[in-house]
Amino acid sequence: MVPALLYLVSALWLKELIPAVPLWGWILIFIAINTFINIRGIEFTAKTNLVILIFELIALAAFLIVGVNYLLSTKGVSAFTLKPLYNPEGFNLSMVMTATSVAVLSYLGFDAISTLSEETHNPSKTVGSATVATILIIAFLFMAQTYVAALIWPDYKNFPNIDVAFYYIAERAGGMWLKNLTLWATVIAWGIANALAAQAAISRILYSMSRDELLPKFLSKVHPTYKTPYLSTLLVAVLSLIVSLALDLTSLTSLVNFGALTGFLFLHVSVFYYYFIKQKKRSGSDLLKYVVFPLIGFLVIFYVWISLEKSSKILGFSWLIFGIVYSAIVTKGYKKIPPSLEV
């Protein structure tokens, strides 16, 4: 669902910019570019993402510099208040949790790092460190740009179009050039960089599940030259095209958020079960790592989870039930153990 969502959002923005090109046309362009890069190999994918990342950071730096300069020139130092972080007059915990359930979408992707373990040097250390570092860096960058944006346009209820609010803020701070720079940076980030990583991650998941005999065997085939799961990559491309054209943005966002939050809930339960129950790690520090931290994480995510819209829960549980039935059939009532788990 994630690549389809990224393609759809990018295509919707570009259609507003260049109406002559149909929505499906932009989606096809993004899918073709990403599929070609992903089939060529993970190193080619990483190099492409690095180039795009540099462009994104330049655009972000430009917004922050121009935004801070705009605030200093119009309001002076007094413009920098704590209101965007905490405003007691308008604070509402329920609203914050509802907003958080939507904002989760912006953070998704860090977990895809774990799917590249087989193509990483020293994965037992590198993958975990990279995941944590990514979350911290993302949080800092998001908070910095959102803080400056909120100071530039304090009245969040007064945007001409709330779906593209950030670009109105960029235009106010620096004019059309900054608006277009941030718009193109976002489109390229979503449509190519993020979708590229998502497609690579999902194709590896399908490859692994196929190798474990939980999905059709053809998905575990590796390209003879590039050594990539090319059939899984092509399947993700086809499904992304179908889903992005079949579902509207609201339904797709709801499904992605439900899946992510539900998956993270199960992840916290898994940490507790595997280390505390199965491995019997129960010393003082183990209690903190494998009981207290998972419990805190579970409660925070669950509080956000219950704030999801009703439609997302209906769609999500329908998809979950389908998955349970399918896996029960494939594993013959959960009696067949995948080869990778056999002792």
CATH number for the domain harbouring residue 112: 1.20.1740.10
Amino acid (1-letter code) at residue 317: F
Same domain, 52 and 193: yes
Same domain, 239 and 268: no
Same domain, 110 and 180: yes
Domain containing residue 9: 2-247
pLDDT, position 86 = 84
Question: Which of 225, 247, 269 is the last residue in one of the domains?
Answer: 247
Q: Is the pTM for the entire model greater than 0.85?
A: no
Helices (H), the chain: 2-17, 23-40, 42-74, 93-107, 123-152, 165-174, 176-188, 195-211, 230-246, 249-271, 284-287, 293-305, 310-330
CB atoms within 10 A of CB 99: 13
Given a cut of 70, is residue 25 above it in pLDDT? yes
> Taking a C-beta distance cutoff of 8 angstroms, is the pair 207, 219 a contact?
yes
159 sits in the region (left: phi over 0; alpha: psi -120 to 50; else beta) called beta
Same domain, 66 and 192: yes
**pLDDT tens track for 33-85:** 999 998 988 788 888 888 988 999 999 999 999 999 999 999 899 889 988 88
Comparing C-alpha atoms, which of 159, 155, 165, 173 is closest to residue 70? Answer: 173
**pLDDT tens track for 217-262:** 899 999 998 888 999 999 999 999 999 998 888 788 878 888 888 9
The pLDDT-based confidence of 295 (bands split at 50, 70, 90) is: very high
Same domain, 168 and 220: yes
> Taking a C-beta distance cutoff of 8 angstroms, is the pair 30, 241 a contact?
no
Same domain, 22 and 153: yes
> Taking a C-beta distance cutoff of 8 angstroms, is the pair 189, 9 a contact?
no
pLDDT, position 174 = 94
Question: Which of 201, 223, 247 is the last residue in one of the domains?
Answer: 247
Question: Which of 231, 247, 263 is the last residue in one of the domains?
Answer: 247
Token pair for 320: 């979950």
Same domain, 261 and 237: no
Same domain, 44 and 167: yes
Same domain, 188 and 274: no
| SS3 at position 282 | coil
Given a cut of 60, is residue 343 above it in pLDDT? no
pLDDT, position 102 = 72
Same domain, 223 and 260: no
Same domain, 155 and 230: yes
Tell me how far apart the alpha carbons of residues 57 and 343 are, in angstroms, rounded to a whole number.
47
Count structural domains, the chain. 2
Amino acid (1-letter code) at residue 216: P
The pLDDT-based confidence of 306 (bands split at 50, 70, 90) is: confident
Same domain, 256 and 231: no
Tell me how far apart the alpha carbons of residues 151 and 146 are, in angstroms, rounded to a whole number.
9
